[in-house]
Structure 1
Amino acid sequence: MRHKFISKRYWKDISTPMGKVDELAKNYNDVINLSLGDPDWTTNKIIIDGAYSDALAGHTKYTEFRGDPELRTEIRKYYKDSFNLDLKDEEIFVTASGCLAMYLIMEAILDDGDEVILQAPYFTPYPQQVELARGVPVELPTYEEEDFQIDIGRLESLINERTKALVINTPSNPTGNCLTVDTMKKIADIAERYDLIVISDDIYTAFSYQHPFVPFVSIGNMKRRTCVINSFSKDFTMTGWRIGNIIAPDYIVRTLQSINENVVFTAPSVSQRAAIHALRNRSVIQPPMIDEYKKRVFYAAERINQIPKMHVITPPKGTFYLFINIRETGLDSVEVSNVILREAHVLTIPGISFGMCGEGYLRIACTVNVDLLKEAFDRIEGVSIFR
C-alpha cells in the first residue's frame, strides 16, 4: 500500500497466492480446509496441565534472556538421547516461535546485500525474512524428477562473493520430502569449501516416515557453522503457544540475545513451561499423533494417484503435507486451486506460493481426519478439469 506514513519498503504488494486463496474461501460455508498446516489435534492434556500447574506456581514472569534454564536442559537431553549430540548450554536460545527464530538468525548474520540461498520449494516466509534483514534471497530449485534432492552442481553455481548462508528444510514444507544423508554430506562439503553458514529448519523432525530423522548439525564438523531452528508447533501440536528454539555457535547466540531483547525481550514463560512438559513426555505424546498423521497422508496420497491429471510421489517420506503435480491439467497452480475451490469447495495452496519451481503443483495439509479427507477427494474427483 502506498501511503506517506508507510515505509516505502512496503509500498509493493507483498501478499501471496496463499493469502488470496484464503480470502476466496470465505465465499463458501462448507469449505474443507486443506491449506494451512495447523493440526486439528488439541495440545496434549499432559502439556496443558503441566503448564497450568507451573503458572499457578508462579512461572508467569520473565525468564532468563536465553530461555528457562530447565527448558534449555531438556533440549540438551533431547539431542543427547535422540542423536547422541552433545550441546553446550551456551549454544541454545529459546524463541517465541520458529518464524521469529528465522528472522533473528537473518538479522544476526547478514550485512546489507548478503545473499542467502533458499532450498526451494520453500516455506513461504523465507524470502521476506531474508529481505527484512536487508539480505537478498536466491532460489535454489529442486525438482520432483530428482526426488526433490538438492543438486550440488546447481547449488555451487549460485554461490558468489556475496553468498553468506544456505537454508535447508528436511522434512520439507511443502514437498514432504526428506534430504538423504548423502545429500547432506555433500552440502556439508560445499559449506566448508565456500565458508557458508547453513540454517537448518528442523520443524518436522517427528514426521520422518521412511528413515529416522538425522539432523544436519550432526553431520561432520557442521556444528560450528550451523544454526538449527526448532519449533514445538508441529512436533507437539502447539501452534498457538508460539515457542521454539535455536541451536547455534555461542557467539551467534550472544548476538541473538542482544537482538531479541529489543524485539520481544523473552519468549512467553508459560509456553516455555509447556515445552518442558512436551519434551519430558514425548515418548507418550508423540507416537499416537505421528501414527494418525501418517495414516492420513498415506490415505491422501493413494486417493490423489487415483485422480486423472494428478499425482504425487509415493510412498510419502515426511511431514503431513503432499505436493501434488497438476501439470497435466495445462493450467497454472493458481487456476487449478481456484477451480477446486469454486467447484469442490476444497481449499488448497497454489505451488507458486513456495517459489518459482513450485509452479505446476498444489500443496495440501492433511490436518483433517480421514473422513473429511475422503469427502474432500470425493468432491475433487467431480471437478471438471479432472474428469
Structure 2
Amino acid sequence: MKHRFISKRYWKDKSTPMGKVDELSKGFDDVINLSLGDPDLITDRIIIDNAFQDARNGHTKYTDFRGDPELRQEISTYYKEEYRMDVKDSEIFVAASGCLAMYLALEAILDDGDEVILQAPFFTPYPQQVELARGIPVELATYEEEDFQIQMERLEGLINERTKALVINTPSNPTGSCLTLETMEKIAQIVRKYDLILIADDIYTSFSYQHPFVPIAALEGMRERTIIINSFSKNFTMTGWRIGNIIAPDYIIKTIQMINENVVFTAPSISQRAAIHALRNREAIQPPMVEEYRKRMFYAAERINSIPHMSVIYPPRGTFYLFVNVKETGLNSIEASDCILREAHVLTIPGISFGQCGEGYIRLACTVGIDILKEAFDRLEKVSIFKK
C-alpha cells in the first residue's frame, strides 16, 4: 500500500497467490481446506493439563531472557537422547515461534547486501524474512525428477563473494521430500569449503517416514557453522502456542538474545511450560499423532496417482504435505488451483507460491481426516482438467 505514512519498503504489493486463493475460497460455503499446514488435531491433553496447572502455580511472569532454564535443559536432553549431540545451555535460545526464530537468526548474521541461498521450493516467508534482515534471497532450485535433492553443481554455481548463508529444510515444506544423508554430507563439504553459515529449518523432524531424521549439525565439522531452527508447532501440534527454539554457537545466541530483548522480550511463559511437558512426554504423545498423518499421506498419495493428469512421488517421504504435479493439465499452478476451487470447492496452494521451480504443482496439506480427504478426492475426480 502506497502512503506517505507507510515505509517505502512496503509500498510494493507482495501478496502471494496463497493469499489470493484463500480470498476466493470465502465465496463458497462447503470448501474443503487442504491449503494451510495447521493440524486439525489439538494439542495433547497431557501438555494442556500440565501447562494449565503450571499457570495456576504461578508460571505467568517473564522468564529468563534465553528461555525457561527447565525448558533449555529439556532441549539439551532431547538432543542428547535422540541424536547423541551434546548441546550446551549457552547454545540454546527459546523463541516465540519458529518463524520468529528464523528472522532472529537472519538478523543476527546478515550485513546489508549479504546473499542467502534458499533451498527451493521453500517455505513462503523465507524470501521476505531475508529481505527484512537486509539480505538478498537467492533461489536454489530442486526438481521432482531428482527427488528434490540439492544438486551440488547448482549450489556451487550460486555461491559468490556476497554469499553468507544457506537455508535448508528437511523434511521439506512444501515438497514433503527428505534430503538423503549422502546429500547432506555433500552440502556440508561445500559449506565448509566456502566458509558459509548453514541454517537448518528442522520443523518436521518427527515426520520422516522412510528413514530416521538426522540433523545436519551432527555431521563432522558442522556444529560450529550451523544454526538449528526448531518449533513445537508441528512436532507436537502446538501451532497456536507460538513456541520454538534456536541452537547455535554461543556468540550467535548472545546476539539473538540482544535483538529479541527489543522485539518480544521473552517467549510466553505458559507456552514454554507446555513445551517442557511436550518434550518430557514425547514418547507417549508423538507416535499416535505421526501414525495418523502417515496414514493420511499414503491414502492421499494413492488417490492422487489414480486421477488422470495428477501425480505425486510415492511413497511419501515426510511432513504432511504433498506436492502434486499438475503439468499435464496444461495450466499453470494458479490456474489449476483456481479451477479446483471453482469446480470442486477444494482449497489448495499454487506451487508458484513456493518459488519459481514450484510452477506446475499444487500443494495439499493432509491436515484433515481420511473421511474428509476421501470427499475431497471424490470431488477432484470430477474436475474437468482431470478428465482423460
TM norm. shorter chain > 0.5:
yes
Once residues 335 and 109 of structure 1 are traced to their aligned partners in structure 2, the CA distance between those partners, rounded to angstroms, is 39
Correspondences of 1:163-178 after superposition (within 5 Å)? 163-178=163-178
Shift of residue 385, structure 1, vs aligned partner: 0.7
Shift of residue 217, structure 1, vs aligned partner: 0.7
User: Is 1:217 equivalent to 2:217 in the alignment?
Assistant: yes
Shift of residue 258, structure 1, vs aligned partner: 0.2
Once residues 117 and 385 of structure 2 are traced to their aligned partners in structure 1, the CA distance between those partners, rounded to angstroms, is 36
Match of 1:308? 308
Match of 1:121? 121
Shift of residue 33, structure 1, vs aligned partner: 0.2
Match of 2:263? 263
Once residues 90 and 26 of structure 2 are traced to their aligned partners in structure 1, the CA distance between those partners, rounded to angstroms, is 47
Once residues 218 and 241 of structure 1 are traced to their aligned partners in structure 2, the CA distance between those partners, rounded to angstroms, is 28
Shift of residue 342, structure 1, vs aligned partner: 0.2
Once residues 88 and 235 of structure 1 are traced to their aligned partners in structure 2, the CA distance between those partners, rounded to angstroms, is 22
Match of 2:295? 295
Match of 2:103? 103
Structure 2: gaps spanning 5 or more residues: none
Once residues 24 and 101 of structure 2 are traced to their aligned partners in structure 1, the CA distance between those partners, rounded to angstroms, is 31
Shift of residue 221, structure 1, vs aligned partner: 1.1
Structure 1: gaps spanning 5 or more residues: none
Once residues 200 and 27 of structure 1 are traced to their aligned partners in structure 2, the CA distance between those partners, rounded to angstroms, is 39
Correspondences of 1:1-387 after superposition (within 5 Å)? 1-387=1-387
Once residues 336 and 266 of structure 2 are traced to their aligned partners in structure 1, the CA distance between those partners, rounded to angstroms, is 43
What is the letter of the counterpart of residue 293 of structure 1?
A: Y
3-state SS of 2:266 partner: coil
Shift of residue 136, structure 1, vs aligned partner: 0.1
Shift of residue 329, structure 1, vs aligned partner: 0.5
Once residues 371 and 57 of structure 2 are traced to their aligned partners in structure 1, the CA distance between those partners, rounded to angstroms, is 42
What is the letter of the counterpart of residue 197 of structure 1?
A: I
What is the letter of the counterpart of residue 380 of structure 1?
A: L
Once residues 316 and 219 of structure 2 are traced to their aligned partners in structure 1, the CA distance between those partners, rounded to angstroms, is 24
Shift of residue 107, structure 1, vs aligned partner: 0.4
What is the letter of the counterpart of residue 91 of structure 1?
A: E
The one-character-per-residue Cα deviations of 1:152-191 (angstroms, maximum 9, x if unpaired) are 0100000000000000000000000000000000000001
Once residues 230 and 106 of structure 2 are traced to their aligned partners in structure 1, the CA distance between those partners, rounded to angstroms, is 15
Q: Which runs of 4+ in 1 moved over 2 A?
A: none
Once residues 235 and 343 of structure 2 are traced to their aligned partners in structure 1, the CA distance between those partners, rounded to angstroms, is 34
Once residues 369 and 197 of structure 2 are traced to their aligned partners in structure 1, the CA distance between those partners, rounded to angstroms, is 39
Once residues 60 and 190 of structure 1 are traced to their aligned partners in structure 2, the CA distance between those partners, rounded to angstroms, is 45
Once residues 15 and 232 of structure 1 are traced to their aligned partners in structure 2, the CA distance between those partners, rounded to angstroms, is 27
Shift of residue 76, structure 1, vs aligned partner: 0.4
Once residues 162 and 366 of structure 1 are traced to their aligned partners in structure 2, the CA distance between those partners, rounded to angstroms, is 39
The one-character-per-residue Cα deviations of 1:226-277 (angstroms, maximum 9, x if unpaired) are 0000000000000000000000000000000000000000000000000000
How many residues in Structure 1 have an aligned counterpart in Structure 2?
A: 387
The one-character-per-residue Cα deviations of 1:308-367 (angstroms, maximum 9, x if unpaired) are 000000000100000000000110000000000000000000000000000000000000
What is the letter of the counterpart of residue 204 of structure 1?
A: Y
Once residues 49 and 386 of structure 2 are traced to their aligned partners in structure 1, the CA distance between those partners, rounded to angstroms, is 47
What is the letter of the counterpart of residue 25 of structure 1?
A: S
3-state SS of 1:189 partner: helix
